[in-house]
Amino acid sequence: MTESHKPGFSRCNNATLRRAARSLGRFYDDALAPSGLKGTQFGLLFQIHVSSEPAMGTIAEALIMDLSALGHTLKPLIRDGYVETFADKDDRRVKRVRLTPQGNVKLGEAIKLWSAAQQQFEDKVGAEQAAKLRAALDAVADLDLEMPAAAPSL
């Protein structure tokens, strides 16, 4: 094989994906820094924004993240007053989420910063390519992967 690993050319799809995520994450984080939000928080606020007072579970599902992880990630946003939660009228187990007025303002502020980063990125890779990449990533994310074995009957 010889050259099996220039800088980071791993064959592991997962490792490659994480590496790219760290790299791009830093870029977006830097761009959003002036707003005080991280890329993840921006994404979360945006998701809440485009949904209609979504339930925690709904958000978690959309973002493919663990429900408890979502709860944790939401805490600083609630603490900082950007988001608030309230119980669902019909099912008290359900907790819904919405942006506060402050949250809306902050989101608007962040969107401007995000746009610059997004634009920068698309200028570099091309809008077409970027769209294709996102499509590929969404496809991967939605793959119904599952290791065979374990779980025959039950």
Partner DNA sequence: CGGCAAAAGTGGCATATGCCACTAATTGAA
Partner DNA sequence: TTCAATTAGTGGCATATGCCACTTTTGCCG
Instruction: Give the binding-site size for DNA (rule: CB under 7 A).
Output: 32
Is residue 94 involved in binding DNA (CB under 7 A)? yes
Which residues bind to a copy of itself, rule: CB under 8 A?
Answer: 4-5, 7-25, 27-28, 30-31, 39-40, 42-43, 46-47, 50-51, 61-65, 114, 116-118, 120-122, 124-125, 129-130, 133-134, 136-143, 145-148
Smallest CA-to-CA distance from 51 within 9, 83, 93 is with: 83
Q: Give the torsion through C-alpha atoms of 59, 61, 62, 63, to 10 deg.
A: 90
Structure tokens given for 22: 């760290």
Could you tell me how far CA 82 lies from the centroid of its own chain?
17
Q: Which is closer to a copy of itself, CB of 105 or CB of 137?
A: 137
Q: Which does 147 bind (CB under 5 to 8 A by kind): a copy of itself, DNA, none?
A: a copy of itself
Q: Which of 8, 16, 18, 125 binds DNA (CB under 7 A)?
A: 18
Interface with DNA includes 55 (CB under 7 A)?
yes
Nearer to a copy of itself, 87 or 125 (CB): 125
Q: Which stretch binds DNA (CB under 7 A): 18-26, 100-108, 122-130, 137-145?
A: 18-26
